[in-house]
Structure 1
Amino acid sequence: MKIVDHIKNAKGRTLFSFELLPPPKGQGIQSIFNTMDELMEFKPPFIDVTYHREDYLYKEHSNGLLERVSYRKRPGTVAICAAIMNKYKVDAVPHLICGGFTKEETENALIDLNFLGIDNVLVLRGDARKGDPDFIPTPEGHAYATDLLQQVLDMNQGKYLHEDVVSSEHTNFCIGVAGYPEKHFEAPNFNTDFKWLKKKVEMGAEFIVTQMFFNVDKYKEFVIKCREHDIHVPIIPGLKPLTTKKQLITLPKIFHLDIPEDLSDAVDQCKTNADVRKVGEEWLVQQCKELIDFGVPVLHFYTMSNPGPTKKIVARLA
């Protein structure tokens, strides 16, 4: 079922959904099932599964020269989505990214997803590869999320690569895109960032999932601005609890977000990570209550495949 239909069928009730990471290579599917087992009591209508592009290592040869070798750290998102849908009978939402894919590989992945009965995709540009100063497009791949979005839209209309005739065999994906209540870090200003988001919706994106945030007012302002500019698709807030003091540094650095002073001060006063988890839990529970009062369609939790902290929070809201 499409995300927009799940939201419509909820008739104003706020849903819970979760995002999982593919496990590191060497781990089996049971690691995903262990996480899912912790969360299924909350009856999530869909589960997001991220995609991680290949990385590089440098192999030194006997002559002293270095060879850059591509390798994968995690198993494929398509297979994980299929396993989740088969075992738990919930919809899986795979992430699609530009980096690491050629257009042909993207088309092949979409054909597989359609074959498996997967109805939704989240279209993202993706991050720069580790070690690269900026995002570098894959040769014969897409440089921007709008280009990747257009490829999915084309397939929904029966337009495939290297085929001159429109096919009657088309896909029917419900497409989501990312939103940034605090602005994408590469955008020169919020209005420019917003302009590109509006273009994606005008092209055909049907829902938005936001970057994580810790200030509910930022999300509310973002939604109000969207509505004022005729963006009326569901805007799903992305959420994550603070669990360690280190995250006061790593989260702003990696995700380019602000942590409110009240929250950072409370975490600074904590003596143990258990204390930090308690502070993070209380903060996010309050965030969620405010968001439910605001009428959000879904509370979407970035679990980082560590379901414990998220489970405690959702149990207090369910």
Structure 2
Amino acid sequence: MHITDIMRENSPTFSFEFFPPKTPEAAEMLYQTIRDLESYMPHFVSVTYGAGGSTRDLTHDLVERIQRTTKLDPIPHLTCVCHNEREVEGILLRYAKSAIGNILALGGDRPAGIAYDKSRDSFQHAIDLVKFIRRFNESGAHRDRRGFGIGVAGFPEGHPATPNRLVEMDYFKAKVDAGANYIVTQLFFDNRDFIDFRERCTLNDIHVPIIAGIMPITSISGCKRIAELAGGARFPAKLMRALQSCQNDPEMVRRVGVQYALEQCHDLLDNDVAGIHFYTLNRSDATRVIFDSLGFPHHRNARALSV
């Protein structure tokens, strides 16, 4: 379903992010997570794209498998790094042929461990990818006359590559004006950052839906991983104090992290958030606890999966 229809028919939306597994063991864990979470009837799920396009085929295969074997609506990520226009057009054609409705267009991470010359990429920034997808949409190659719904990333704490927040918002508005239909934010732990980001978008005449990205902390070591994934996420003193008080008790750390994320979700809902996107890290436990605690109905008799 096109994101415009999803957002119009559902308020707020709830969604999950997965990443492609690289080993049989990781695949089995992911498919169990999908089985666990499908019964919650999320409005969509997103599938990440590895640094430098390293999971190109894995991403496509997972997206198609989710679409073919579940009732979930998958949205693939697509990044600029290490791609030329012909490659991206081929990827878009595959997704269009498979009736995928939406794309999340991102700048992407540079590949690790190899020489990389960004100047050789056809798409220097996410806005270039957004413009290319929009031109693809206008070509009529997608069965939906609107083409793909186009999502972009938002950064409530500021984009790490653009310390000037005023300039950053100018860039962001240009990205949305280029054709983006919705925004999914990077994870954050202080809702004031999200509310401020949303207000600044409104002040800059950006009026597409803004979906909040939430990731519950489930371990002390996970904090460092989260900070790396988020490009230096800020951890409020309230959260750090709570985690430090139980740092030698892994189960209590998990409970504290999940409770903190739950409180974030309640506050976001009270502030009329358009949607909440859960970064699952391919695990379902924390997300299920939060979703159950929010009190939203779900259907445990959903069609059995064959993933």
TM-score where L is the length of structure 2: 0.88
Matched residue type, 1:78: H
Question: Structure 2 CA distance, aligned partners of 1:37 and 1:279?
Answer: 26
Q: 1:152 aligns with which of 120, 128, 133?
A: 133
CA distance in 1, matches of 2:144, 2:240: 53
Report 1:48-59 matches (<5 A). 48-53=46-51
* Inter-partner Cα distance in structure 1 for 2:109 and 2:177: 24
Residue 292 of structure 1 is matched in structure 2 by 269
Q: Which residue of structure 2 aligns with residue 262 of structure 1?
A: 238
Asked if residue 82 in structure 1 is aligned to residue 59 in structure 2, the reply is no
- For residue 193 of structure 1, the aligned residue among 168, 175, 180 is 168
Cα distance change of structure 1 residues 125 and 136 upon mapping to structure 2, 3 Å threshold? farther
Aligned partners of 2:149 and 2:233: how far apart in 1? 28
Partner secondary structure for residue 180 of structure 2: coil
Structure 1 CA distance for aligned equivalents of residues 50 and 138 of structure 2 = 28
**What residue is the counterpart of 1:3 in the other structure?**
3
Could you say which residue in structure 2 is the equivalent of 1:65? Answer: none
Task: Give 2:304's aligned residue.
Answer: none
| Number of equivalent positions | 293
Query: CA-to-partner distance for each residue in 1:16-61, whole Å, 9 max, x for gaps?
Result: 1000010014458554321111111211121100011459xxxxxx
Contact 1:81 1:93 in 2 (8 A): yes
Partner of 2:82 in structure 1?
A: 100
- The equivalent position to 2:21 in structure 1, one of 7, 20, 23, is 23
Counting aligned pairs with the same residue, the percent is: 32
Asked if the contact 2:169/2:204 (under 8 Å) is kept, the reply is: no
Greater Rg by CA? 1
Q: For 1:90 and 1:132, how far apart are their aligned partners in 2?
A: 36
Q: Distance in 1 between matches of 2:112 and 2:203?
A: 38
Q: 1:213 to 1:291 in 2, by over 3 A?
A: same
* Residue pairs, 1:100-249, within 5 angstroms: 100-131=82-113, 136-137=117-118, 139-158=120-139, 172-249=147-224
Please identify which structure carries the higher helix content: 2
SS in 1 for 2:118: coil
Cα deviation 1:132-168 (Å, max 9, x = unaligned): 79x74273532211111111011011189xxxxxx99
Structure 1 residues 223 and 142: alpha-carbon distance in aligned structure 2, compared to 1, 3 A threshold: same
> How far apart in 1 are the matches of 2:73 and 2:164?
35
**CA root-mean-square deviation:** 2.4
Query: Taking structure 1 as reference, are residues 242 and 36 closer, same or farther at Cα in structure 2, changes over 3 Å only?
Result: same
Contact preservation (8 Å) 1:24, 1:74:
no
For residue 40 of structure 1, what is the aligned residue in structure 2?
Answer: 38
232-241 or 24-33: bigger deviation: 24-33
- Runs of 4+ residues deviating >2 angstroms: 25-33, 72-75, 135-141, 167-171, 246-254
1:218-254 C-alpha deviation (Å, 9 max, x unpaired): 1001101111221110000000001111233343344
Give, in whole Å, the separation in 1 of the partners of 2:281 and 2:56: 14
Pair 25,100 (structure 1): closer, same or farther in 2 beyond 3 Å: farther
- Aligned residue for 1:209, secondary structure, equals strand
CA distance in 1, matches of 2:152, 2:188: 17
1: distance between equivalents of 2:275 and 2:250?
29
The structure with higher relative contact order (CA 8 Å, sep 6+) is 2
Q: Partners of 1:123 and 1:22 in 2: how far apart?
A: 17
SS in 2 for 1:314: helix
Letter in 2 for 1:15: T
The one-letter code matched in structure 1 to 2:197 is F
Unaligned 5+ segments in structure 1 are 56-71, 161-166
What 5-or-longer segments of structure 2 have no aligned partner?
A: 297-307
Q: Secondary structure at the match of 1:295?
A: coil
